[in-house]
Amino acid sequence: MNRKDARAAAMKLIYEWDLGGDGGTDTFEGLLEITPDDENFGYTQEVVRGVTGQAEALDAEISRHLVGWTLDRVSRVDLAILRLAVYELNGDEVPPGAAINEAVELAGIYSGEKSGHFVNGVLGSIYRERQKNS
């Protein structure tokens, strides 16, 4: 499993968690076919735990950058992608451009036709605000 696949798996697990799932072993090994010996297993687990543990703060930041939208109007898939990307933007492991580009790609694959533009707009706004404030 490469990092792109790990990110997609993490997004799916975040989505499942948002819908009330637990992202347990059955999901990892059965549905996503991820085993502990996969190269990025730890990364996937870390991201999912980080996002679920910080969801309230991540959602607050995302909400501040939704122009003409409220969080409850955002599709659950787009929200999972945004949470994942903002979590990655909060860390030092993934360059901001890569986190944003990967999120846009995930939106293009797993969400609606215009989701990539939406995700890019929200994440771009978050990134520009951070640049301005640093």
For the cut 80, the answer to whether the pLDDT of residue 32 exceeds it is no
Give 53-84 pLDDT, tens digit per residue: 999 999 999 999 998 899 999 999 999 999 99
| pLDDT tens digits along 82-102 | 999 999 999 988 999 999 999
For the chain, domains (ranges, CATH) are 3-133 (1.10.940.10)
Looking at mean pLDDT, say which of 7-11, 44-48, 85-89 comes out highest.
85-89
**Which contacts qualify for 102-110: CB closer than 8 Å, 24 or more apart?**
102/4, 102/7, 105/4, 106/7, 106/8, 106/11, 106/81, 107/77, 107/78, 107/81, 109/8, 110/8, 110/11, 110/77, 110/81
